[in-house]
Every structure is written in structure tokens, then in C-alpha cells.
Amino acid sequence: MGRVLTALWAPLRWAGSLGKRAITSLPWGGGGAVSSAVSAERALSLIPLFACVRILADSVASLPVQLYRRNGATREMVSYIPQLFFAPAAVDNLFMWLHKCVVSMAMRGNAYGLIVQRDDLGFPTMIEWLNPDEVWVDELYPTRPVYYWQGRHVPTADIVHIPWVVLPGKVAGLSPIAAFAESIGHGLKTVEYGRSWFENGGTPPATMKNTAKAINPDEAEEISDRLAARVRARKPLVFGSDWDFTALKVSPEESQFIETMRLNATQIATIYGVPPGKVGGDSGGSMTYSTVELEGLDLAQFTLRPWLVRLETKLSQLMPGKEFVKFNVDAMLRTSLIDRYTAHGMALAQGWQNRDGIRAIEDLSPLPGGEGQTYAPLAAASTPPPKPGGTG
């Protein structure tokens, strides 16, 4: 049985290792203070930002994770599944575990994991992702960072840290919400303005004109208040003495509301490297795809690949020996049936895939008796047949 660290949610055993520090040197109330007035929860109410985080987390977490072993200059797929890939946390399956990791990186620039269980050789088998707002990193010596969780020191060996964008001389990644608080805050203000627009109107909702009587400013204000009260109450408006009521029709475009929202969506998409058209931004109208496969390939190469490499590198460091982790990006590039079968036929004919490998891609069981383990004889195919009746 694996060695379990019993100090996950109980008072940490590391509390006794705390030294005396100036009260200003560590945010004792929790982790690192958010250097922005925009909280993560409030930022997620901005639709483009939520969409970017969702696309990244959903895409990465839904990809199959495969374990390989280096064998000289070649690599081979490992048949067994480590516990970290089927029960990585107490309540999370692999999808939710990876999803939380990417959300933490996308929202706060860092994912901090606490190793709570190891196998007999000391390799992690369970990791719980911590709230990044409760973690603080002492970066005084970047080559020897010191981690604190909820004000308590945590041994570096028990922390799995995956940052997003890191400045030289730093350990913790930049928080995109803090770094781009002005742009995100501008988007939130635009949403609030839009809500106010539709509730109260961005300009006066109507004009009242009386040609039979001159009124003073106080009377005009009283008439305006009564009219506004009737409009808000959705009650019929009764008036006389030659009043002329004209409702004003002003579209949101005239206040540049929609254009402002589109600009903000494009900026947020640029921060995360997500195609703007997927989050309500302006794609420029020049990018078109002939197939869904090409669109998925573009997303995988230019958006997901850097995120996948970060995760693969860190997870591979947690594996024993020569084993390493790779995400199967081909799973999101499912082609049509005829194209897929044509590619399978070429792989079989050229000898770099066998029938069982093809069947595994199509979620089929291996052929009985090991029949699917043979490969096409490339050497025989490339050697010309001997001439009949002679040796040369």
C-alpha cells in the first residue's frame, strides 16, 4: 500500500517548522493576496473570459493521457495505467483533475498541487490541487523557492507547481487577471453599462412636448418623474392638454456597446491564444477552414500545444525511470470514416502499424491468438525478387 500523508486537511504537520517572521513578510490570512480588484469569480462572469477558460480546460482534460517508456532511441507504450491517471485525487476523476489544473493556470497563472499519497518507491499517486489564492511563494532565492499554504510552510518536495508565464528571476507565474485587470475590468464595466442600457436606456427614452402651455423647469421635472414611474411600472399613460408623446428608438450600436464588447472579447482571446471567433470576438474575416479537421488542427497546434507541453513535462517528472507522459492529440482530430480507413490501410501496408494497433485506435479489442501483432515485411517489400534460372 502506498504511503499516505495524513496531514491534508487536518492541521499541517509542517506548522511546527514555521520560523519567526515579521508579520508584514507573509500574508498570514491565506495565500498570496490578489493584486487586483477583479476577483476570479467576478472575472468569470465576463463571457469571453469564461469561454476562453472553458475551451482550454475542456479541450485539455478531454484528451487521452498515454504513458510511454524510453528504450534507447525508441519508445514503447506502457500497458499498465498508473494510479495517478485513474484515481488522481480523493473525489476527482482524471478529467476533473486535469480540468481544475488548467482552470487554475488560466485564472491565476499557477497550479499548485499537494502530494497526499505516494507509492512504496516514493512516486506520487494522489495529488490535490490547492486554491492558488491560498498559496504564497517566497522567491527571495528563485533556485530554492519556499511554499506556504494558508500561512503554513509546505516542504517543496510535497508541492507540484505548474506555472503559466514566468518572468526571469521568478518562480510563480503571472496572474492574467491581475496583469490584465484593466482590460478585464473594462469588459465588466461594459457589461454593467449594457445591463443599465436595457433597464433604463442609454439616452432619454422619450420626449414630451406641450404646444398649448409653457412650463417651468420644476413642472418639467415633475412631469418627467411621473412619466418615468409609469414606464417602469408598465402602466398606461394618460395625458391631455395637447401633450405630444414621442418614444425614442436608439439601438445599442449607436452607443458602440456591441463594438466595445466585441473588441474586449478579441483582446481576451488574444491573451489566451484562443481564436477570437470562438468567444464572440472579431476573427478578421480572413481565416476560413475547408474542413472541421483543419480547424481542430489549428486549435491543437497554436492554442493547446503550449499548455499540453507544460503538463506533459511536469507529469513526466513524477513518473519513475524512463517513463514519460504524452497527450493523444489525434483523439480530437477525428477525420471522416473513409479518410480514417484509408490512412489505416497505408499504415498497415507501409509496416509502421499492425492490426492490433489499428484496432486500438478504433476502440476495438486485439485479434485472438496474437494475429494482429505482425507487421508488414518492409525488408521483403524493398528487396527485388531474384532472377529466375540464375544467381545474378
Q: What is the pLDDT of residues 37-58, one digit of tens each?
A: 556 666 666 778 889 999 999 9
pTM tops 0.75, yes or no: no
Please give the Cα distance from 51 to 103 (Å, whole number): 11
> Residue 14 — very low, low, confident or very high, per pLDDT cuts 50/70/90?
very low
Q: Where are the domains positioned within the chain?
A: 1-175+269-334, 183-258, 335-382
% of the chain residues with pLDDT over 90: 30
Q: What is the pLDDT of residue 255?
A: 45
- State the pLDDT at residue 388: 60
d(CA 149, CA 170): 18
pLDDT at residue 231, as a whole number: 65
pLDDT at 53: 92
Q: What does the pLDDT read at residue 16?
A: 41
> What are the DSSP calls for 300-347, one per residue?
IIIIIHHHHHHHHHHHHHTS-TTEEEEE-GGGG----HHHHHHHHHHH
Distance from C-alpha of 344 to C-alpha of 355, rounded to nearest angstrom: 9
At residue 387's C-alpha, the angle toward residues 384 and 389, to 5°, is 160
Going by pLDDT thresholds of 50, 70 and 90, the confidence category of residue 141 is very high
In order of 34, 69, 76, 322, 323, the CA distances from 73 in angstroms are: 46, 11, 10, 12, 13
Helix (H, G, I), strand (E, B) or coil at 270: helix
Predicted confidence band at 253 (pLDDT cuts at 50, 70, 90)?
very low
- Of 37-46, 140-149, 216-225, the range with the lowest mean pLDDT is 37-46
pLDDT class for 20, splitting at 50, 70, 90?
A: very low
Q: What is the mean pLDDT of residues 91-102?
A: 96
Q: Does 63 score more than 60 pLDDT?
A: yes
The continuous run of DSSP H or E covering 294 comes out as helix 292-299
1 confidence band (pLDDT: 50, 70, 90): very low
- Look up residue 319 and give its amino acid: M
pLDDT digits (tens, 9 = 90+) for 274-294: 888 888 777 665 455 555 566
- In the predicted model, what is the mean pLDDT of the chain? 74
The residues near 118 (Cβ < 8 Å, ≥ 6 apart) are 2, 3, 5, 124, 125
d(CA 282, CA 55): 17
Residue 308: pLDDT band (50, 70, 90) is very high
Got the DSSP string for 7-70?
TSSSSPGGGGGPPP--TTSS-TTSSSPPSSSS-HHHHHTSHHHHHHHHHHHHHHHTSPEEEEEE
Confidence of residue 219 (pLDDT cuts 50, 70, 90): confident
C-alpha–C-alpha distance, residues 299 and 278, integer Å? 11
